[in-house]
Amino acid sequence: MMGWFVALRAIVVREAMRFVNQRSRFIAALVRPLVWLIVFAAGFRAALGLSIIPPYQTYITYEVYIVPGLCGMIQLFNGMQSSLSLVYDREMGSMRLLLTSPLPRWWLLFSKLLAGVVVSILQVYVFLAIAAAFGITMPLMGYVYAFPALVISGLMLGALGLLISSTIRQLENFAGVMNFVIFPMFFMSSALYPLWRMAESSPLLRDICAVNPFTHAVELIRFALYESLNGIALLWVVLAFAVFMGGSLIGYDPARGMARRGRGPSG
């Protein structure tokens, strides 16, 4: 078992060092949600009014409402970025070398996934600190309760990226696939506006948003920031993680996925 934790520590430290050395990635991860916070707060205030009523039975401003959605966006983008590094590592050969170690493949992939979650949570809390500096605050204990929610949602979104990376043959194709996944998931969710607003526009769109795993990740974070637990959202996120992780293990199985693609000219 000691070897398992040595591998976990090495993978997490490697991912953390890669993140520290890529300062532009850290800045982009913070600038993106801050810009969206300013732009969407200004654009949707008129449409939604100065206050809305979320499931917490309390009036909150629109800026406060979208903060959990932007936390989810940080984790979604980070999950895709971590998957991009997996595709790069696979092309360079380091990923194949890692998967040939005597440790179980699921543990190595989970370690890689957990490393990305650690980085994403760091980004989220820095974003929350900056938002708090501008007066957009949550209940104090909400920041503590949000931690396990961020771990679970980060694992689910990271597993989605892991699943996508297992299907990509060339690094050049990943950007297009990434945009195809990120933006529909983000916009067709409750990240920017509640589902009852969606229902007013289109019941079908509301139903699509309701089955979107990202919606439930956002709601899990939102409830946690308000010191509550959304059991349905937790169940959806855990089930989505199990499906995505299971698909990733199949995709990275040498007999089915990565090794077979590796025999091709672009492998």
Domain housing 59: 2-262
- Contact between residue 221 and residue 68 where contact means Cβ atoms under 8 Å apart: yes
CB burial of residue 171 (10 Å; 0-12, 13-18, 19+): middle
Which pLDDT tens digit goes with each residue over 165-175?
877 766 666 66
Is there a domain that residue 63 lies in?
yes
Q: How many CB atoms lie within 10 A of CB 25?
A: 16
Structural domains of the chain, count: 1
Among residues of the chain, what percentage have pLDDT more than 90?
22
Q: What is the mean pLDDT of residues 46-60?
A: 48
Q: What is the pTM of this model?
A: 0.82
In a domain, 267, yes or no: no
In a domain, residue 87? The reply is yes
What are the distances in angstroms from CA 204 to CA 31, 57, 200, 201, 243? 33, 26, 10, 9, 24
Q: Is the residue at 232 inside a domain?
A: yes
Distance CA(159)–CA(143), nearest Å, equals: 24
| Contact by Cβ (8 Å): 217, 117 | no
Summarised one tens digit per residue, pLDDT across range 99-122 is 666 677 777 788 888 888 988 899
pLDDT at 265 over 50: no
User: Quick check: is 162 in a domain?
Assistant: yes
Is pLDDT of 192 > 70? yes
What are the residues whose beta carbons fall under 8 Å from the beta carbon of 138, sequence distance 6 or more? 64, 67, 128, 132, 146, 225, 226
Q: Is residue 192 in some structural domain?
A: yes
**Amino acid code (one letter) for 258:** M
> Across the chain, what does the average pLDDT equal?
78
For the cut 90, the answer to whether the pLDDT of residue 233 exceeds it is yes
Tell me the C-alpha distance between 30 and 137, whole Å: 17
- Whether residue 70 is contained in a domain is answered as yes
In a domain, 256, yes or no: yes
